[in-house]
Structure 1
Amino acid sequence: MKNSINILMVISVLLSFIASNAQTKNFKSASVKIYGNCAMCGKAIEKAGNLSNEANVDWNKDTKMAIISFDSLATSKEEIVKRIALAGYDNDIFFAPDDTYANLPECCQYERAKKDAHNRQMHKMIMTGDHMQHGAIAQENQNKNTLAAVLEHYFSVKDALVNTDGSLASNKAEILLNSVSGVEMDKLPMEVHMAWMKVLQDLKQDIGNIMATKNADKQRVYFKSLSKNMFEVIKVSKSETPVYYQFCPMADGGKGGSWLSLEEVIKNPYYGSQMLSCGKIVETIK
């Protein structure tokens, strides 16, 4: 018995070592120059670049150099420094958007490297996805179509709840989750990229919760949060066809609940046939 316990302990230690060693091999380090002035800049730079279990940024205000450690299977140096640029800080790879830089606190407005007209145009292309080459334009259209697919599958979940079909809503949520997971957010235009990053984890959590039950009433609780976050993305990314943001004041015990729809006609996903037409359009996105 004692020998068996000892063997199990040895196996456990070996497995832990193997897992730790594999994770260590995935992690890489890189040095990048990032422009900033003060400790406040450092906090903003590190906050923008850090991502739990994926990336860590350590910036030195004297040298302007950042040591970036990251899981190469989960992210890349380019993705990390792009987030930092989008927060307002120029670096060796990306320039920050001019308006974002202008909104930094005065003490954080570092001296920017001179950029000629060509470089500014190239910066615009890099940060917004506004590429001139046909292949790049095709890629941008593909990314837009990816978000269109996400929206389409969201509508499938919504329609299932309109019909109070919890089983169908669970199935459609699984398809929606696959669509959300398939979005390559580093290839999205700047504003959409930022909006998507902010809501991605909440989207996945709410969709997963809808998948996990076939009770329509429970699904509607998560659908309320899901709809709010979908709205935050769609109002930035826009849509080829009008999308209506609708609201029912009676949902969630009188707290109210919103949803997105392709139709102007109200079809309430929170009550279904009980109060199908309860609600109104509060915003049209186009």
Structure 2
Amino acid sequence: MKTLKVKTAVVLLLAVSLGYSQEKKMMHHDHENMESGEMKMMDSKIPKFNNEKITTAYEDYLTLKAAILKSDQELAKKEAEQLLNSIAKLEGTDGLQKVATKLAANRNLESQKAAFSDFSSEFADFLKGKVAENQLYFARCPMANNNSGGFWLSHEEAIQNPFFGGKMLKCGSIQETIK
């Protein structure tokens, strides 16, 4: 009887492990970010761009935006450096690289947020005319950055303000649709 219970427990454990393994295979993981405990889920709404390197840069932008939302300045610095590497692989991005360099150099969260806003504005200008499928939204919160305002990009129309660490997520408005 004891052996039957052990065998049943082993079978159940294997079934649960197999189910978990199959679920992990259905997710897309960013293996560099997994080391820091972060996973990047690929969203079907993410616009398609006319260049795969732009898609990579936009995905890196999203992970940076998530770090800003979490108010994790070390993670934001790391993600900004990754974004800078992606931007450097694109042509015609000298101005964008300058702003991204400033963003990656900041260690202070408030400075990172201000630089993120500046980068978002520059990145929005760069992406105009490069969206092949779907669209982007350029949003602004007037209260961010000590009431001087803050900008961000999103592929979802619903406002999710990254500037207040989960507080005031709905504060802001769409300023422009980018196609």
1:182 and 1:167 map into 2 onto residues whose CA distance is: 24
Q: Which residue of 1 aligns with 2:62?
A: 155
3-state SS, counterpart of residue 236 of structure 1: coil
Question: Does 2:145 align with 1:238?
Answer: no
**What amino acid maps onto 1:208 in structure 2?**
T
Question: Does 2:135 align with 1:260?
Answer: no
Cα 1:220–1:268 change in 2 (3 A) is same
Q: Give, in angstroms, the shift of residue 168 of structure 1.
A: 1.0
**What amino acid maps onto 1:234 in structure 2?**
L
Deviations 1:43-92 (A, max 9, x none): xxxxxxxxxxxxxxxxxxxxxxxxxxxxxxxxxxxxxxxxxxxxxxxxxx
Q: Please tell me whether the aligned partners of residues 202 and 226 of structure 1 are also in contact (alpha carbons under 8 angstroms).
A: no
Q: Give, in angstroms, the shift of residue 252 of structure 1.
A: 2.5
1:218 and 1:142 map into 2 onto residues whose CA distance is: 30
Q: Give, in angstroms, the shift of residue 284 of structure 1.
A: 2.1
Q: Which residue of 1 aligns with 2:77?
A: 170
3-state SS, counterpart of residue 273 of structure 1: coil
3-state SS, counterpart of residue 230 of structure 1: helix
Q: Give, in angstroms, the shift of residue 212 of structure 1.
A: 2.2
Q: Which residue of 2 aligns with 1:211?
A: 104
Q: Give, in angstroms, the shift of residue 219 of structure 1.
A: 0.3
4+ residue runs over 3 A deviation: none
Between 1 and 2, higher relative CO (CA 8 Å, sep ≥ 6) is seen in 2
1:282 and 1:269 map into 2 onto residues whose CA distance is: 16
Q: Which residue of 2 aligns with 1:248?
A: 141
Consecutive unaligned residues of structure 2, counting only runs of 5 or more, are 1-47
3-state SS, counterpart of residue 274 of structure 1: coil
Cα 1:142–1:249 change in 2 (3 A) is closer
Cα 1:244–1:253 change in 2 (3 A) is same
Scaled by the length of structure 1, what TM-score is found? 0.43
Q: Give, in angstroms, the shift of residue 256 of structure 1.
A: 1.7
**What amino acid maps onto 2:176 in structure 1?**
E
Deviations 1:154-180 (A, max 9, x none): 111111101111111111111111111
3-state SS, counterpart of residue 228 of structure 1: helix
Scaled by the length of structure 2, what TM-score is found? 0.66
**What amino acid maps onto 1:230 in structure 2?**
F
Q: Give, in angstroms, the shift of residue 270 of structure 1.
A: 1.9
Q: Give, in angstroms, the shift of residue 142 of structure 1.
A: 9.5
Deviates more, 1:265-274 or 1:151-160: 265-274
RMSD: 2.1
Q: Please tell me whether the aligned partners of residues 239 and 285 of structure 1 are also in contact (alpha carbons under 8 angstroms).
A: no
Q: Please tell me whether the aligned partners of residues 162 and 267 of structure 1 are also in contact (alpha carbons under 8 angstroms).
A: no
Deviations 1:179-234 (A, max 9, x none): 11112x2xxxxxxxxxxx3xx23322222222223322110111111011101011
1:272 and 1:205 map into 2 onto residues whose CA distance is: 26
Cα 1:239–1:283 change in 2 (3 A) is farther
Question: Does 2:128 align with 1:221?
Answer: no
2:127 and 2:58 map into 1 onto residues whose CA distance is: 8
Consecutive unaligned residues of structure 1, counting only runs of 5 or more, are 1-140, 186-196
Q: Please tell me whether the aligned partners of residues 69 and 164 of structure 2 are also in contact (alpha carbons under 8 angstroms).
A: yes
